[in-house]
Structure 1
Amino acid sequence: MRSFDQIWAIAAKRKGGDAALAAKMPEIKTADELAATPDDRILAAMTRAVFSAGFSWQVIEHKWPGFEEAFEGFNPVRCMFLDDDDLGRLVSDTRIVRNGVKIRSVRENAAFLCALADEHGSAARAIADWPGSDFMGLLDMIKKRASRLGGTSGQYFLRFIGKDGFVLGRDVVAALVREGVVDKEPTSKAAKKAVQDAFNTWAVESGRPLAHISRVLAMSIDA
């Protein structure tokens, strides 16, 4: 595979130069900044990612104040104890997108965050301290223990809260295929390890965060 400097050069040529490309890099938080995030904001970001999957992001953004009201600020302990009557009421609540399965995921994800808080002091601390060199491990843990946060939904959730990591969208996967890292979307254990190893290599080469490497890979692909 190419060095990161070579991939950067391809992306910079497409996007109008080094400065223009650098301006497009996503913002990420330090571990301490992320750990200071209240767990209600973690649950809110989870919910936003779940409801945005397969749906118009603009609609979710427009209705988001209604989500905040309907779920009373996304306090994880409160949401963990939503009962069936509460869920039935929410399914009829016009302030939110009335998808019963996704609404139930809020209760399930609240329970997951409360379990993480019991284990690590806070869910935000657990996520913040997870090493980027095993970002795939974090994604797998969230997929197994949370609700409806497999695939890119989990990746976007982490991007929403400022965790450094990659998003394996269409263009990033295309770049990984071009570089010989994988031959298709990585779903097997071996392919996921190859992706993590490639990102780790580029991170050591460049000193850049995973999120920036991910964005540069995507921008090195012709639309």
Structure 2
Amino acid sequence: MRSFDEILTIAAARKGGVEAVMAAIPTPLSPDQLAAIPDDRWLAQMARGILQAGISWKVVENKWPGIQEAFLGFDIGAITFQPDDWFYDLCEDTRVIRSPPKLRAILDNAAMIRRVRDSHGSFGRLIADWPDEDFAGLVQWLKSEGARLGGNTGPYMLRQMGKDSYILSQDVVARLVAEGVIDKEPSSKKAHAAVQTAFNTWRAQSGQPLTTISRVLAQSTG
């Protein structure tokens, strides 16, 4: 497995220098900043990712103001206290993307966030306290405890909210395969553990956050 600096050199040769590689990489939020994000914003970002899956993101963007209204501003308390037949009203609401499985997933995630709030104080607090060296564990937890947050939906949501993260995009997977970390897109716990170990190694070598390492890996192939 090449060192992080060697992979950065490859990316820099492809993209026009180290500064070009590093220029657009976002800085993760601190744990306190993550913990301070209101629960409704976490649900909103989950909803956006769920609704965007498989359709034009522009459609979701254009309908977003109406979606927020229909979902009561994604207020966790308001959503989770609605009567059961509210779901059926949503399915007929022209303001939203009328996909019953996706709408149900958003309601299920509201309930999940409320459970986490009751046990941890806030959803953001749990995310903030989850150690970066076990990001794979956090992704698996989102997949098992949440609804339709598997694949890259959960990791993208975490990245967009500011959690230090890596995303197993096609380009990142290609670099991991080239480095012998995995032999294909990871699907087993063993493969995900190998990916986490590789990222932890590059993190220790470079002092860079997971987000930076992930973006450098992507730019070294894509």
TM-score of the pair, normalised by structure 2 = 0.97
- Structure 2 gaps, min length 5: none
Match of 2:87 in 1: 87
Alignment of 1:129-140 (within 5 A): 129-140=129-140
Match of 2:202 in 1: 202
C-alpha deviation, 1:122, in angstroms:
0.5
Count of residue correspondences: 222
Q: Give the 4+ runs in structure 1 shifted more than 4 A.
A: none
Q: Which residue of 1 aligns with 2:74?
A: 74
1:96 alignment counterpart: 96
Q: Which residue of 2 aligns with 1:26?
A: 26
SS of residue matched to 1:83: coil
Deviation at 1:173, TM superposition (A): 0.6
Tell me which amino acid in the other structure corresponds to 1:212: T
In the alignment, which residue of structure 2 is the partner of 1:50? 50
Alpha-carbon separation, structure 2, partners of 1:86 and 1:124: 27
Structure 1 residues 163-220: Cα deviation after superposition (integer angstroms, max 9, x where no partner): 1111101111111001100000111111011000000000111111101111111110
Cα deviations by residue, 1:100-159 (Å, 9 ceiling, x for unpaired): 110011110011001111111111100111001000110111111110101101111111
Aligned counterpart, 1:6: 6
Q: How many angstroms does 1:96 deviate by?
A: 1.6
Unpaired runs of at least 5, structure 1: none
Counterpart amino acid of residue 28 in structure 1: P
Q: Quick check: 1:80–1:108 contact (8 Å CA) kept in 2?
A: no
Q: Deviations over 1:16-55 (max 9, x none)?
A: 1111111121232111111100000011011111111222
1:91 is aligned with what amino acid?
Answer: C
SS in 2 for 1:151: coil
Q: Which sits farther off after the overlay, 126-135 or 75-84? A: 75-84
CA contact (8 A) 1:77 1:111 kept: no
Q: Following superposition of structure 1 onto structure 2, how do residues 115-194 of structure 1 map, counting pairs within 5 Å?
A: 115-194=115-194
1:111 aligns with 2:111: yes
CA RMSD, 1 decimal? 1.1
TM-score, with structure 1 as normaliser: 0.96
Which region of structure 1 is more displaced relative to structure 2, 54-63 or 200-209?
A: 54-63
- The answer to whether structure 1 residue 217 and structure 2 residue 211 are counterparts is no
Counterpart CA distance in 1 for 2:7 and 2:199 is: 12
Q: Which sits farther off after the overlay, 54-63 or 165-174?
A: 54-63
1:79 and 1:106 in contact (8 A); partners too: no
